[in-house]
Structure 1
């Protein structure tokens, strides 16, 4: 239920500009709805173009880049603007149409954590829905490829080294409503796209663009939808009720183990998460690094591993009372008398890979019984390809929040 004391906020995302623009027009046809859009296609000129529309009044302005940083500029311009609009009595809803290169979860993270006049913007607005348009003709190829954003002229600034797949997947999996636009080139592609989306975003409602009017889109938001709440990296890696049976060759594998990975063997095994895999998300525990909770993410042909803080059982982890209720509950359910909450948990959505082969390869990277018996002191001497070099200090806070646009909190970045 929407808090009547806060202004409803809708975020629109998608790689394909025409359907996103059409959805924005539909949502803002309702009286009292303001539209905000920051166009990042002009960052090469040192500016971002900002559009604000309310009713028939429309204003387009250029916002200079702050220190050539897209994230800083958006944070300093979008958040105060959203707050100001929310406090205008004639504004009953705000629609933020995100640039094609933006990931809605990162924007929501800023809404919840960045301070404007010493308070987060979510004191004045409440995310009503995150809606993502999916172009059926091109989305699957984008989500499973390895093209960089700058190769397709969608990068958000000169330092944006993300891939098209990373953005395509991130936009889909955080959506409350997925709107299918256009036509797939054939029935097989349409079926495979649907099978991937059902496993990637099982909590999202699926609508067709033709019938996606304002009432239907907002009414379709499921009770268990994200509604803009950033995901806890210490929470479950699979939520909702995704199909467990294969469909059109698309599968969902959940990998779990209660012993650490051998760093060198895991490094050699990671290719199995790149070939024929749409998405990997989850946590990893490396022998020799008992305090580091590592977060693993792959999308298409790119993979990254970053630090997500410490385990609850580690000396440098958060205190039990400081952890979220979800984090504490999840840790208690899996607590081991020796290893505490340390665990391997990965969710892998594959479209052209054998889940049995993925499982076999990852289990081969775990410590053997003999290595496990050697103990933690011996593990510290194992070669660790993931360790930062002398000129690359480790950032133990990198996993506390999603990366900003163009940031790279990655320990290792692989591309096919």
Structure 2
């Protein structure tokens, strides 16, 4: 029985501004190749339930105005983009699809939907995810060398930039860092403000996405250079894969030394955090830090893996399932084999696989200060004995993370925490 080739899809993303303009230029370059379809959804009027969708192929262009019953990004994705990918993939004339993403579309959300959302109602096609028909060839992110560092480390919200959809409380930094973190390749629009800033940006990118090839561009990028960039993407690159909270925190082989003040700080501990001290210590992850992520063990929540992820002044803390030690034998048997193997290497007779594992990318902070603050937030020896012998007493400790992290914080908490924390559902 013949195996049908899935149509490759290239996603191009960029933050509003110069990078968004580059998205259209790069899409046009790739779209000049015969058999390539360029798809762009313009979501500026999304709140009114109106989306403009443009298709370009072989020098021809068509635009259609879509009216959605519910004006939201998710509805656009499910009701139009995913079925469109399936229909285009079925055409013999289509050899590649390029998605020039509107800033409201996140590449990670699109890739996750392609893999998991069931597409129904297409005549002649069995219902199922779009991933049956298409595969992600690459995620390409454009960034402005002059503005991205400030965007990635600031506290401004999308709403303050007038970029937020309804109920979107994320910061500019969370989106700017997320776009780069999910990329297989980067186009950096230069030059930076000066040579030092460009070197610092290169050092950050080398640690944030070490496997991603980078094209430093002072002007339009021709198709031949763009195809060469895509060809340099390593075979093991993520290509749309969405990693869970138990995937390795250090991906690829990032430089572990300090360069131009930029360094990766690894923090690991075999004892839990005291929730109130952790809440106070979290301020250390905002000043001079690009991003932090990792798994946490809270003394008051012995069954739950708590996921932390920050970017600039934005923070998400949420649940990531249960520790293996808190599962039944049947549940453990169904867990990911790689996770079980890694847990077996560090299994503790008392606490099982519970631990703390964080990676912090600092660009203007003292790693010693970060480690000191996080060590201070861990339970002390007498508290650890309570965790082991009297968990019912520990459960009564005040826990700012009891319903994950609310925004704003309760009265009496630090102004910095109120300004910088935001509720999230984790990974």
Instruction: State TM-score, norm by structure 2.
Output: 0.87
Higher mean C-alpha displacement, 98-107 vs 137-146: 98-107
Deviation at 1:338, TM superposition (A): 1.8
Deviation at 1:149, TM superposition (A): 1.4
Deviation at 1:318, TM superposition (A): 8.1
Which residue is equivalent to 2:14? 14
CA RMSD of aligned residues (A): 2.2
Note if contact 2:262-2:361 (Cα within 8 Å) is conserved in structure 1: yes
Deviation at 1:28, TM superposition (A): 0.8
Deviation at 1:4, TM superposition (A): 6.4
1:347 aligns with 2:359: yes
1:250 aligns with 2:265: no
How far apart, CA to CA, are the structure 2 residues paired with 1:317 and 1:95? 45
Deviations 1:99-130 (A, max 9, x none): 12333122111111111134111111111111
How far apart, CA to CA, are the structure 2 residues paired with 1:40 and 1:318? 46
Which residue is equivalent to 1:207? 215
Note if contact 2:210-2:251 (Cα within 8 Å) is conserved in structure 1: yes
How far apart, CA to CA, are the structure 2 residues paired with 1:52 and 1:153? 27
Deviation at 1:63, TM superposition (A): 2.5
1:120 aligns with 2:129: yes
Which residue is equivalent to 1:142? 151
How far apart, CA to CA, are the structure 2 residues paired with 1:321 and 1:269? 36
Pair member with larger Rg: 2
Which residue is equivalent to 1:78? 81
1:367 aligns with 2:379: yes
Note if contact 1:132-1:179 (Cα within 8 Å) is conserved in structure 2: yes
Structure 2 counterpart of 1:187, from 195, 201, 222? 195
Distance 1:318 1:204, change over 3 A: farther
1:222 aligns with 2:234: yes
How far apart, CA to CA, are the structure 2 residues paired with 1:68 and 1:316? 43
Deviations 1:71-114 (A, max 9, x none): 22222211111111111110001111111233312211111111
Deviation at 1:31, TM superposition (A): 0.5
How far apart, CA to CA, are the structure 2 residues paired with 1:287 and 1:268? 15
> Is there any run of 5+ residues in structure 1 with no aligned partner, and where?
393-407
Structure 2 counterpart of 1:287, from 281, 289, 299? 299
Deviation at 1:66, TM superposition (A): 4.0
1:91 aligns with 2:106: no
Residue aligned with 1:313, SS: helix
Structure 1 counterpart of 2:318, from 306, 330, 353? 306
Which residue is equivalent to 1:401? none
Structure 1 counterpart of 2:182, from 152, 174, 180? 174
Deviations 1:130-167 (A, max 9, x none): 11112111111111111111222332x22222111111
Note if contact 2:184-2:213 (Cα within 8 Å) is conserved in structure 1: yes
How far apart, CA to CA, are the structure 2 residues paired with 1:113 and 1:278? 30
